[in-house]
Chains A and B, each alone.
Chain A
Amino acid sequence: MSAQSLSGEASAARAALTQALIATGEQDRSAFQQVYELTSAKLFGICIRICGDRQAAEDVLHEVYLIVWKRAGGYEPGRASPITWLATIARNRAIDWRRSPGNRASLPLGEAPDVADDAPSAIDGLLERQANGALHLCLDDLDANQGDAIRSAFFGGLTYAELAARKVVPLGTMKSWVRRGLLRLKECLDES
């Protein structure tokens, strides 16, 4: 997960975001604004897909950036790319929101996204690409049911029970699809 596989331009953009995030940790409001401008579309995309509700996604996004404002001081550049760090916070907060009592009314959009591959945005250039190859090849190699369930779980923040309800299959069937898929994924990733 080093920056070596990034193009020069992406590498510079990543360095700029890293700098802005570090400055945010020092309570620099203009740096925080810059982080927001660079990343809010990605993070809002995550919130809205998992929450399945626009108003809720706006509130979760607000909460996510307050967490970023408070915790950016703990961001460790060597361990994760800045956008991965931010995206993880957004996904976890959105899942927390949806799993808290009373927020289950709307089912999230669990389908794997099908538009992003064609038109990677500037921020996607900051996400690691080289490990991408292995995971995507291995995912593509799975049976359709298995690969689809694993992607839906990730992008929708869905549990086994929710996946089974979405696909209208028994819980045991869904668990078996995902577990078999994960096992094969493990073998495939270990080989590559």
Chain B
Amino acid sequence: MNPDQPGDEDVTAAELALGVLDGEERAVALRRLVADPAFAREVERWRAHFDVLFAQWPEQEAPAHVGYRIARSIAPRSRSSRYWPAAAGALALIAASLLLVVVLRPVAAPQLIQPSAPLVASLDPAAAGPALPAIYDPARGELRIPAGFASPAGRSAELWMIGTDGVPRSLGVLASATRTVIAIAPADRAKFTAGLKLAISSEPVGGSPTGAPTGPILAGGELISS
């Protein structure tokens, strides 16, 4: 091994854990994280190595007003009063945009209320076992997965969408005992078309702490028109 030619040895796992990759290099590494369990374990090992550096991080007293703000934002009563004006504003905007559509495009308006057909995916398990259905309902912007997916003991099953760029994005952790209903963010709904890949990975309870899959893929499949 020649240390002057670092390309000869692969340190991608360490680079991903350290966070130095960006753009296409990061996307390639994230794809590999999904596809290669040994690589995923290597990334996890590097993360644990780097974690010890947190002890060196200098502390800085947070200003008191931030503490108050945070405490207020989790208090149930103030929460509704804080969110209500925003919700009312959003509703007014939606109403205004509907009105515009009706005024400008009267013929197209009925499409707004006509629900499109659901898309389905069969999530085939990596190990033996039954496939798990996932149903995307465009009318409600909801992805539904029935109860019954057995995640490994002491772990959570996290669902990912993998778009055309191949980069996994979390959709949330599957409920263990009940069916899972995931509200898809309006900005993401356009991506829920035939061919979108979905995958379930094994993660620490509560989901990946990093925003990318850290454990092996348990099941996967593609959306198709039903």
Residues of A within 8 A of B (CB): 1, 29, 32-33, 36, 40-46, 48-49, 58, 61-62, 65-66, 69, 71, 73-76, 78-80, 83-85, 87-89, 91-92, 95-96, 99, 112-113, 115-117, 120-121, 123-124, 127-129, 131-132, 135-136, 150-151, 153-155, 157-161, 163, 175-176, 178-180, 182-186, 189
Contact of B6 (CB < 8 Å), options: A112, A158, A180 = A180
Q: How far is the CA of A132 from the CA of B50 in the complex (A)?
A: 9
13 contacts between A and B (CB under 8 A): A42-B54, A44-B59, A44-B62, A45-B58, A46-B57, A61-B66, A80-B51, A87-B51, A99-B22, A155-B57, A160-B22, A179-B7, A186-B14
Q: Which residues of A contact B9 (CB under 8 A)?
A: 183
Contact of A88 (CB < 8 Å), options: B67, B205, B209 = B209
Contact of A182 (CB < 8 Å), options: B7, B11, B71, B74 = B11
Contact of A76 (CB < 8 Å), options: B7, B22, B74, B206 = B206
Q: Is the CB of B209 within 8 A of A89?
A: yes
Q: Which residues of A contact B15 (CB under 8 A)?
A: 178-179, 182
Q: Is the CB of A135 within 8 A of B18?
A: no
Q: How far is the CA of A95 from the CA of B211 in the complex (A)?
A: 11
Q: Which residues of A contact B103 (CB under 8 A)?
A: none
Contact of A74 (CB < 8 Å), options: B47, B56, B156, B211 = B156
Q: Which residues of A contact B20 (CB under 8 A)?
A: 153, 158-160, 163, 178
Q: How far is the CA of A138 from the CA of B211 in the complex (A)?
A: 28
Q: Is the CB of B57 within 8 A of A132?
A: no
Q: Which residues of B contact A136 (CB under 8 A)?
A: 52
Q: Is the CB of B73 within 8 A of A66?
A: yes
A interface: dominant SS: helix
Q: Which residues of B contact A43 (CB under 8 A)?
A: 62
Q: Chain A's nearest CB lies how many Å from the CB of B29?
A: 12
Q: Which residues of A contact B7 (CB under 8 A)?
A: 179
Question: Is B210 part of the binding interface, using a Cβ–Cβ cutoff of 8 Å?
Answer: yes
Q: How far is the CA of A75 from the CA of B54 in the complex (A)?
A: 18
Question: Is B82 part of the binding interface, using a Cβ–Cβ cutoff of 8 Å?
Answer: no
Q: How far is the CA of A129 from the CA of B211 in the complex (A)?
A: 26
Look across to chain B and name the residue whose beta carbon is closest to the beta carbon of A32.
B74
Look across to chain B and name the residue whose beta carbon is closest to the beta carbon of A128.
B52
Q: Which residues of B contact A128 (CB under 8 A)?
A: 51-52, 55
Q: Assess A116 versus B154: contact at CB under 8 Å? Given A73-B206, A92-B210, A159-B22.
A: no
Q: Which residues of A contact B207 (CB under 8 A)?
A: 71, 74
Look across to chain A and name the residue whose beta carbon is closest to the beta carbon of B55.
A127
Q: Is the CB of B70 within 8 A of A36?
A: yes
Q: Which residues of A contact B66 (CB under 8 A)?
A: 40, 44, 58, 61-62
Q: How far is the CA of A22 from the CA of B21 in the complex (A)?
A: 34
Interface centre among A33, A96, A157, A159 (most CB of B within 10 A): A159
Q: Is the CB of B54 within 8 A of A74?
A: no
Q: Is the CB of B11 within 8 A of A186?
A: yes
Q: Is the CB of B71 within 8 A of A161?
A: no
Q: Is the CB of B205 within 8 A of A74?
A: yes
Q: Assess A153 versus B3: contact at CB under 8 Å? Given A45-B57, A116-B55, A128-B52.
A: no
Q: How far is the CA of A33 from the CA of B75 in the complex (A)?
A: 12
Q: Is the CB of A92 within 8 A of B211?
A: yes
Contact of A83 (CB < 8 Å), options: B54, B58, B69, B73 = B54
Q: How far is the CA of A105 from the CA of B154 in the complex (A)?
A: 42
Question: Is B60 part of the binding interface, using a Cβ–Cβ cutoff of 8 Å?
Answer: yes
Q: How far is the CA of A89 from the CA of B60 in the complex (A)?
A: 17
Q: Which residues of A contact B51 (CB under 8 A)?
A: 80, 84, 87-88, 128
Q: Which residues of A contact B156 (CB under 8 A)?
A: 74
Q: Assess A95 versus B19: contact at CB under 8 Å? Given A41-B61, A79-B204, A189-B49.
A: yes
Q: How far is the CA of A182 from the CA of B3 in the complex (A)?
A: 11
Q: How far is the CA of A66 from the CA of B66 in the complex (A)?
A: 12
